[in-house]
Amino acid sequence: MSTSSAWRSASAIRVVLVAAVAAAAFMASYGLFSGEPTGTDSAAQGSATPSADGSQAADPSEGEIASFTTASAGSCVTWDIAPDGTATDFEQTSCDKPHRFEVSSREDLSAYPTSEFGPNAKRPDITRQNALRDELCEAPTVSYLNGKWDPNGRYDIASILPPAASWEQGDRTLLCGLQTTDANGVPQESTGKVSEVDQAVVAKPGECRKVDENQVLSTVPCSEPHQMETVSVINLAEKFPDGYPNDEDMDKFLSETCTQDAMDYLGGEENLYQSTLQPFWGAMNRESWEAGSRSVNCSLIHVNEGLFSTITGSAAEGRDSLNINGAPPTEQPKRNPLRNQNAQPGGENSQPAGDSAVPAATTAPAPAQ
């Protein structure tokens, strides 16, 4: 899905609209959430004249308008999401506890250089929020992280507007920040500050991943067609604590580690050999490393004539559970017992392969082996 993360497509290189795909009820409850940049840091003001939609805004003569939140840069906020998508219980929380949003900047739209967000203004629609995010949130957020943000990693820049009632009372606060979302764009819980955690996009061991025609990876049940089964998460920083390694050292480490992880995952080298699958690891470039990403996935794949095969079933459940390109795994040639049980498995499809490019679907070549 990206140029700096091996398993994200170019379409994912974006500053995401925070809750654009969350349910309409969610947006109605807490205003509009967006992934837009912001700029200044002050409180919102308003007046008691009717707004364009007939509602009332607050009068500055009644004193400073109360903001919907006191959260500021470095704060974390969270909320609950009901099954119907409704958001409730918006609150600040410690960043070392599960939360959905880390605030990087607190902005005041009433200080915007035009009258667009005056006392009678309607809340910005999604399109306008996108523009505001790019204009007002991206630079402050990258600065907040001291430049350590991987745009191809798991955190997106986003913004939060006040609830409808607070907006109508004159609150023009805009929170800029970071969040991680699921495939539908719904903000997910994370723990720890972004500057202190691994930003890499990785799947969990046991998850199966499908590569679509746009080379976008998505997690699917292993019983459904897929191209990869995740074996492990490999943290490169544990092996290379002093900085980004050279390509030869990284490839050697990943080859050895992923091959061993694959054998452990399947219960031994013989099971890996009989599965006809091969270890396959993700790539980490210098840009992503320097921006805060450290981990890659080790997975199992099958290659047929230079293309990724389509697999159904989980290799963890044994060879008999697998279907590869519509057929059971081919019978492997008989061989003498291995003297070294840690040797790399044999077989035409079982050599380990590194991911030097974005994964390709069955209609495109797999990475060179």
**Per-residue pLDDT tens over the stretch 86-140:** 888 999 999 999 999 999 999 999 998 878 999 889 999 989 988 998 999 999 9
Q: Binning pLDDT at 50, 70 and 90, where does residue 24 land? A: very low
Q: What is the pLDDT of residues 161-174, one digit of tens each?
A: 998 899 999 999 99
Kindly report, residue by residue over 62-75, the tens digit of the pLDDT.
Answer: 456 788 999 999 99
Judge residue 33's burial from the number of C-beta atoms within 10 Å of its C-beta, 0-12 exposed, 13-18 middle, 19 or more buried: buried
Reported as a single tens digit per residue, the pLDDT across 211-222 is 988 888 899 999
**Which pLDDT belongs to residue 340?**
54
In this prediction, residue 175 has a pLDDT band, given cuts at 50, 70 and 90, of: very high
Q: Does 284 score more than 70 pLDDT? A: yes
Q: Let me know: does 213 contact 195? Beta carbons within 8 Å.
A: no
Nearby residues of 242 by Cβ (< 8 Å), 6 or more positions away:
none
Residue among 97, 95, 201, 106 at smallest CA distance from 154: 201
pLDDT in tens, 295-346: 999 999 999 988 899 999 999 999 999 999 999 999 999 887 664 555 554 4
Question: What's the token pair of residue 327?
Answer: 């057929």
Cβ atoms 344, 289 nearer than 8 A:
no
Judged against a pLDDT cut of 80, whether residue 85 lies above it is answered with yes
Nearest to 144 by CA among 130, 162, 157: 157
Split at pLDDT 50, 70, 90, the class of 229 is very high
| Neighbour-count burial of 53, counting CB atoms closer than 10 A to its CB (0-12 exposed, 13-18 middle, 19+ buried) | exposed
Residues 6+ apart with CB under 8 A from 345: 259, 263, 269, 272, 273, 278
Residue 347: predicted pLDDT: 40
In terms of Cα–Cα distance, which of 230, 228, 229, 234 is closest to 250? 234
Q: What is the average per-residue pLDDT within 33-56?
A: 32
Residue 334, pLDDT score: 87
Checking if the pLDDT of 259 tops 70, the result is yes
Contact call for residues 45 and 60 (beta carbons, < 8 A): yes
Q: What is the pLDDT of residue 308?
A: 93
Query: What token pair was written down for 101?
Result: 């949003």
Tell me the CA distances in angstroms from 190 to 77, 100, 334, one per residue in order.
Answer: 11, 6, 48
User: Which element (helix H / strand E) includes 348?
Assistant: none
Q: Residue 34: its pLDDT value, please? A: 54
Q: List Cα–Cα distances, 97 to 63, 78, 101, 102, 191, in angstroms.
A: 35, 10, 11, 11, 5
Name residue 8's amino acid. R
Sheet of 278-281, strands arranged across: 217-220, 208-211, 228-235, 295-301, 278-281, 353-354
**Can you tell me the distance from the alpha carbon of 143 to that of 165, in angstroms, rounded to the nearest whole number?**
32
Is-contact 127 20, C-beta < 8 A?
no
pLDDT for 6 beyond 90: no
Query: How far apart are the C-alpha atoms of 32 and 127, rounded to whole Å?
Result: 11
Mean pLDDT of the chain: 79
Parallel, antiparallel or unpaired: strands 101-108 and 173-181: antiparallel
